[in-house]
Amino acid sequence: MSDLAWRLVADIAFAVAMAAIAFALAWRSLKRSEDPPRLLVKWTITSLLVSVTIWLMTFFPDAWWPAISIPPAFTIGLLWAPSVGAMMARWLCGDMDGGNTELEPQPFYSVAETKRRNGHPHEAIQIVDEQLAKHPGDFPGVMLMASIQAEDLNDLPAAQATLERWIQGPASTPSGIASALSTIADWQLKFAQDPETARAAFERIVTSFPDTPLAHRAAQRLAHLPTLEHLLASKTAATLVLRHGEKDIGLRKDFIPPGPPSADPDAMAESLVEQLQKHPADTEAREKLAHLYAEHFHRLDLAVEQLEQLIGFPNESPKHIAHWLNLLADLHIRCADDAPAAEAALRRILERFPDTALVAPTLARLASLRGELKARQRTPLKTLGHYEKDIGLKPTKG
């Protein structure tokens, strides 16, 4: 093939490629245009003006070219100036107003919530149903519908069925399932006074997501689940019986104002030990027991043992672990005047959670630790009571 033929083929291929690119850009612009007919008219006029200008410059090469090109160019500029200005404005302001980025469709429940607040729960449910038909499995919508059924229509079985359908559906997630089951448990306690059904809901979380933070939080709720007697008693107003007191008691010189009844440390410790035997993961009870060992019985070793078990619990949040390590430092200062041990406890926070918000307050406390030590006084040791055989509790296996 001759050089002329190759050049012809190359020119044709280049022309086809440019035409394809131009067509693609034109089609994209046409689809995104707010007024496609007007855009087509502008393209037609521009094409005619460019074609006429090229024809005149080709067939009248000796003519004065500004006289031929300036009027069409001026007309094209006026024609496209608004579009070019809008394009530049979108490019400059796109980061602030989002540009032409299409928003992902989102369900809207504000109308349903307004209907609910105005006392129209059935209309609210109908609106939520319409939104869920467009966005199947949307968890906030499912929760809103269930809460209307339980709290406004007093239909707890329907609310529980709504959440159960979502739990069994394809859109369910572990955190959503745990939230739905916790909500079912709360409604069973609040509306049905049924702690056993609530217990079953929390146990489903523990068995469905073992060794996870979800299971850990559910275990905490299980450890403090109220009994049926407690729920019924909370619904009944207590009767306050007033007795006649001694007259002119405030004028007596030997009068000592009555204070709050003092709790029996032995009984408190036994109660906490019993609770931890039933629920070893009860962090609240274990922390109280650590306080009791250190403050009432002055057994720092047993208090440290309880705190170490708390610190070693799996799936605990950094915030809680930092709190217990700070408490451990407190006890070393208050009960043993042991600044190095307190400092070691605080440095464990820095080692476990570097580059977190916990670092700054920990460093600040480390700087003031010696001042804390000077403000404390050492307290004498005290022996334990008759429950000493159960007091330590074996460390909980993680």
Q: Report the range out of 62-66, 94-98, 174-178 with the highest average pLDDT.
A: 174-178
Any domain includes 224 = yes
pLDDT band at 243 (very low <50, low <70, confident <90, very high): low
Query: What per-residue confidence (pLDDT) applies to 323?
Result: 95
Any domain includes 136 = yes
Any domain includes 397 = no
Do 9 and 84 lie in one domain? The reply is: yes
Between residues 346 and 89, which one has the greater pLDDT? Answer: 346
pLDDT tops 60 at residue 382? no
* CATH label of the domain that carries residue 114: 1.25.40.10
CA dihedral (273, 279, 283, 284) in degrees, to 10, reads -60
Do 306 and 373 lie in one domain? The reply is: yes
Any domain includes 258 = no
Any domain includes 242 = no
Any domain includes 342 = yes
> How do residues 17-69 score in pLDDT, each as one tens digit?
766 776 676 666 656 666 677 767 777 877 777 777 776 677 666 665 666 66
Do 67 and 133 lie in one domain? The reply is: no
pTM of structure = 0.61
Query: What per-residue confidence (pLDDT) applies to 119?
Result: 93
Do 369 and 277 lie in one domain? The reply is: yes
Do 32 and 129 lie in one domain? The reply is: no
Between residues 298 and 39, which one has the greater pLDDT? Answer: 298
Do 41 and 124 lie in one domain? The reply is: no
User: Of 97, 129, 157, which residue sits at a domain end?
Assistant: 97
Q: Give the domain extent around 12.
A: 3-97
Q: Report the range out of 220-224, 369-373, 393-397 with the highest average pLDDT.
A: 220-224
* Mean pLDDT for the stretch of residues 281-299: 91
pLDDT tops 60 at residue 95? no
Do 130 and 191 lie in one domain? The reply is: yes
Q: How many domains does the chain have?
A: 3
* Mean pLDDT for the stretch of residues 247-270: 65
d(CA 379, CA 333) in angstroms, rounded, equals 11
Do 193 and 282 lie in one domain? The reply is: no
Do 190 and 297 lie in one domain? The reply is: no
pLDDT tops 80 at residue 136? yes
Any domain includes 41 = yes
User: Of 54, 73, 97, which residue sits at a domain end?
Assistant: 97
User: Of 52, 70, 97, which residue sits at a domain end?
Assistant: 97
Query: What per-residue confidence (pLDDT) applies to 352?
Result: 93
Residue 12 falls in which region: left (phi positive, over 0), alpha (psi -120 to 50) or beta: alpha
Any domain includes 211 = yes
